[in-house]
Chains A and B, each alone.
Chain A
């Protein structure tokens, strides 16, 4: 069992790709699987900042929303091809991350959470007010991508399973990218900053620049999640920018296990699956999510995956 986990940890990109290949067949329907894919990526981007560098942002919906809206606007108003539209979304989110990050990293700790929440609210109001471009309260409609050709092969984007695998292609690239970041020297500096900012600075690392860089990377990944979501839903609801959406990233990371590689994905899957089940019984699913979340904060702060990993390491230690 242990060697299995070690193998998964060593080949984490391959392992997650293989698992996600068969994932839609485990889920009750493909739309839920795509949702988990998109929000898993969103939570992973958030976790880069929160889990690995210890910065708790409450404004990450801004980047999900910017990605969604810019991709949507590119397709609806400027008829750009979908690939370019995704690129516009990701770059836009990265630029948004640069501006928000520049202001937010001037503060620390709790202030950081407050400032990101407040700046996220600004982005919300900007897109809300720009009604001619974004559709305001009704959201942006008609982000349609029906079919396209990849190297001359026609692809039917309306087929949910085909859509899943196309979105998976982008998610896998992002997962590979995140894995590369984490195992690079940058990843080590991030964890050093999380553990002790002053000591990291004393070691000669430029703390402010690292923070800003990771903020931008995290925003870009969340922007990609937003772009993919716009293509998946073919509308962009104004909710994408809402503070509760930022909260979802927080909840997913904590449920799955912050600061772990697979945690955010597991958190997203558990939360969305739970939402799917609970809504068939009651419309007050938010209360259930809130209670489950509070339970985890109180008793399992390391989340599902983090707790599993802990148990494994304890076992290993006692063997020695």
Chain B
């Protein structure tokens, strides 16, 4: 039972880390505002749910909004910083996270919003070994669909091929006549859309407030470090692992729950500094 809770939690981590990983693998940019986009997603999700009364609607609208925010961010804020070293985009998105947090405070107040579980997904369901909240099952299914979708997009489509090629060698892709700037723009937007989507999906399971993105950012960094940066497979598996470790420790040693995943990271760093699925020497 606790294992399922862990997987539900872990699927959110996996989704977030996947978004981070997508942007990093392609653009070599760590999006420090990723947690903030997640938070904006949660707010937008509840807002759209309030207006339309339809959860599916907010599930579609929110990633569009955060995705567009991501597009604007890349085009006007991150793009001028390419070639100025790896720290500058990181610093810029860090500043952006301040602005996004305050923007949500201005729009929705400092207390945050009450989280809402959509009607059809309330209550529990018998899963054979016991009763489990329906929403968490939905969460696991939804993230599985999204992750498979992203995997399919990257592995099987023409666009995915360009993205993979661009991550490997941008010069060659440029020579082949692909507008790499446009690809970067779209990848950044896609990453932010996924962050927003995970925000909507997570919103019924946690309290929605402007600061909610901060701990989750630290936790998704743990996931990326454990999984090995730039490895989408690592991101997904490490995400699930971190979720399971968290919920298992909160069952047996509740006081250590928050610490457990950081201890996991410390252990991984000692044994394999490049992460479970990272290549050696890829840590530059």
Contact = CB atoms under 8 A, between A and B. Distances in A.
B51 interface: no
Given A119-B266, A121-B218, A287-B103, A113 B90 contact: yes
Interface in A70-116: 103, 106-111, 113-115
A108 B262 contact: no
Contacts of A286: 98-99, 101-102
B229 interface: yes
Interface string B134-177: 00000000000000000000000000000000000000000000
Given A110-B86, A115-B269, A244 B214 contact: yes
Contacts of A290: 95-99, 102
Interface in A122-180: 122, 125-126, 129
A98 B101 CA distance: 33
A182 interface: no
Nearest to A112: B283
A118 B265 contact: yes
A205 interface: no
A250 interface: yes
Interface residues of A, number: 36
A263 to B, nearest CB: 15
B233 interface: no
A107 B269 contact: yes
B218 A108 contact: no
Contacts of B105: 284
B221 to A, nearest CB: 4
Contacts of A109: 86, 283-284
B225 interface: yes
Contacts of A298: 77, 80-81, 92
B269 A103 contact: yes
B255 interface: yes
A214 B211 CA distance: 32
A126 B218 contact: no
A270 interface: no
Given A118-B265, A125-B259, A129-B255, A294 B88 contact: no
B47 interface: no
Contacts, number: 110
B282 to A, nearest CB: 10
A109 B85 CA distance: 10
A293 interface: yes
A96 to B, nearest CB: 14
Interface in B83-125: 84, 86-88, 90-92, 94-99, 101-103, 105-106
Given A114-B221, A129-B255, A301-B84, A287 B102 contact: yes
B30 A114 contact: yes
B101 A56 contact: no
Contacts of B266: 103, 119, 122
A113 to B, nearest CB: 7
Contacts of B262: 118-119, 121-122, 125
Contacts of B102: 284, 286-287, 290
Given A287-B99, A289-B98, A117 B77 contact: no
Nearest to B88: A297
A10 to B, nearest CB: 30
A244 B36 CA distance: 13
A118 B95 contact: no
Contacts of B269: 103, 106-107, 115
A116 to B, nearest CB: 10
B220 to A, nearest CB: 9
B222 interface: yes
B87 A106 contact: no
Interface centre among B217, B221, B255, B263 (most CB of A within 10 A): B221
A254 interface: yes
B283 A293 contact: no
Contacts of B30: 110, 113-114
A293 B266 CA distance: 32
A294 B99 CA distance: 10
B283 to A, nearest CB: 5
Contacts of A251: 95
Contacts of B97: 290
Contacts of A254: 91
Nearest to A99: B266
Contacts of B24: 110
Contacts of B80: 298
A291 interface: yes
A243 interface: yes
5 closest Cβ contacts across the A-B interface? A290-B98, A287-B102, A294-B95, A114-B221, A290-B99
Given A118-B265, A298-B80, 18 more contacts: A106-B269, A106-B273, A109-B283, A109-B284, A110-B86, A111-B229, A111-B283, A119-B266, A121-B218, A125-B258, A129-B255, A287-B102, A290-B97, A293-B91, A293-B98, A294-B92, A298-B77, A298-B92
Interface of A: 56, 103, 106-111, 113-115, 117-119, 121-122, 125-126, 129, 243-244, 247, 250-251, 254, 284, 286-287, 289-291, 293-294, 297-298, 301
13 contacts: A56-B87, A113-B90, A114-B224, A114-B225, A115-B225, A118-B222, A121-B215, A243-B214, A286-B102, A287-B102, A290-B99, A297-B88, A298-B77
Interface of B: 24, 30, 77, 80-81, 84, 86-88, 90-92, 94-99, 101-103, 105-106, 214-215, 217-218, 221-222, 224-225, 229, 255, 258-259, 262-263, 265-266, 269-270, 273, 283-284
